[in-house]
Amino acid sequence: MALLDVQNLTVEFPTRRGVLRALDGVSFSIEAGEVLGVVGESGAGKSLTGAAIIGLLEPPGRIAGGRILLEGSRIDDLSQSQLRRIRGRRIGAIFQDPLTTLNPLYSIGRQLIETIRTHLKLSEADARKRAVRWLEEVGIPAAAQRIDAYPHEFSGGQRQRVVIALALCAEPALVIADEPTTALDVSIQAQIIALLKRLARDHGTSVMLITHDMGVIAETADRVAVMYAGRIAEIGPVAEIVRTPAHPYTLGLMGSIPSIEHRVERLAQIDGAMPRLTAIPQGCAFNPRCPRVFARCRIERPDLLPAGATEAACWLHDATIRPLRAAHG
């Protein structure tokens, strides 16, 4: 049984001009101890997927369909107070900007202790010991002294370490890291990713790593889900996705990563832009930009189909009716 199983998740935003479907039939699972990378452009629905899982969709956004199972039991239909007990305790979250995710008026110790004591029956003193241990574990030097310091007394990288400690201090089985390195210095990014990797391994924590940085994914994730316009375009083991992408969108994404080995004059780019939620085309959402588009893509929407080692939502991989390659070669 997978730790987290997301089935056909649909998230909608009712607006004055009608209902916007921001996530449309997203399915994936995360095994215990696994790191799943989620990549895609801004607005593809990566963060929204994370927010939906922990029940923190911004109103008026709501889960309109599908199921979310944590260790086999549904969590998408729980009340807010039941969800609260899951957040932090069973599913942790790490946000993008460490400069704004810590409460500036409380010392980091107070924030850690409060989080620990919310979820675990510990005395103030024991919670404090645990907080110091976590600060040491995330690499804050002189943790016992610095525990009473305030967020502004830490650098950006250290603050993200504190955020990680806060997310993990109640030992959740899964942590959703939403762009944990985007706001950081390039030199710090690698450290934070290495830390996250090490902690996940040491504590057996599964990670859902949301980012648009393929480099981070390639280095960290076991499997990757590529999202496009609120759907999963391709999902599979990281090596296969990087080496032999099956979906034309993934292929385009890989082509746009600069390589040290091969000098190129110009980076490849995918023409056009991701459609807005109000104007998602019929059929495959990627069809207006796809170099290998054919008639069926404009009419019928592809589900995830087996494509070698990965699964891709692309009619090119329809085993029953193979399209004639010659027709659009």
Beta-bridged to residue 30, according to DSSP, are 4
Using CB under 8 A, pick the residue from 21, 46, 119, 223 that binds other proteins: 119
> Is 292 near other proteins (CB under 8 A)?
no
Q: Assess whether the previous peptide bond of 60 is cis (omega < 30° from 0).
A: yes
Residue closer to other proteins, measured from CB, 43 or 92: 92
Binding mask 137-176 for other proteins (x = CB under 8 A): -------------x-xx---------x--xx--x------
Residue closer to other proteins, measured from CB, 57 or 254: 57
Residue closer to other proteins, measured from CB, 184 or 241: 184
Q: Decide: helix, strand or coil at residue 164.
A: helix
Residue closer to other proteins, measured from CB, 27 or 111: 111
Residue closer to other proteins, measured from CB, 167 or 225: 167
Minimum separation from the CB atom of position 93 to other proteins (A): 4
Within positions 220 to 239, which residues make up the interface with other proteins, using CB under 8 A? none
Minimum separation from the CB atom of position 191 to other proteins (A): 21
Cβ-based neighbours of 182, under 8 Å, separated by 6 or more:
96, 97, 211, 212, 213
Minimum separation from the CB atom of position 75 to other proteins (A): 13
By CB atoms closer than 10 A (0-12, 13-18, 19+), residue 265 is exposed
By CB atoms closer than 10 A (0-12, 13-18, 19+), residue 67 is middle
Minimum separation from the CB atom of position 58 to other proteins (A): 9
Minimum separation from the CB atom of position 273 to other proteins (A): 27
Q: In what order do the strands lie in the sheet with 174-178?
A: 91-94, 174-178, 206-210, 35-39, 223-228, 231-237, 310-312, 305-307
Applying CB under 8 A, which part among 3-11, 106-114, 239-247, 303-311 lies near other proteins? 106-114
Using CB under 8 A, pick the residue from 107, 182, 191, 244 that binds other proteins: 107
Spatial CA neighbour of 179 closest among 222, 209, 219, 215: 209
Binding mask 64-93 for other proteins (x = CB under 8 A): ----------------xx--xxxxxx--xx
Residue closer to other proteins, measured from CB, 48 or 170: 170
> Is 102 near other proteins (CB under 8 A)?
yes
Q: How many residues bind other proteins (CB under 8 A)?
A: 33
Indicate the pairing of strand 18-30 with strand 4-15.
antiparallel
Spatial CA neighbour of 268 closest among 283, 299, 289, 285: 289
Using CB under 8 A, pick the residue from 8, 100, 155, 282 that binds other proteins: 100
- Report the alpha-carbon distance of residue 186 to residue 46 in Å, rounded: 22
**Do residues 170 and 119 make contact, with C-beta atoms less than 8 angstroms apart?**
yes
Residue closer to other proteins, measured from CB, 105 or 319: 105
DSSP string, 5-74: EEEEEEEEEEETTEEEEEEEEEEEEE-TT-EEEEE--TTSSHHHHHHHHTT-PPTT-EEEEEEEEETTEE
Token couple for 55: 């029940």
Residues lying near other proteins in the complex (CB under 8 A): 54, 56, 80-81, 84-89, 92-93, 95, 97, 100-107, 114-115, 118-119, 150, 152-153, 163, 166-167, 170
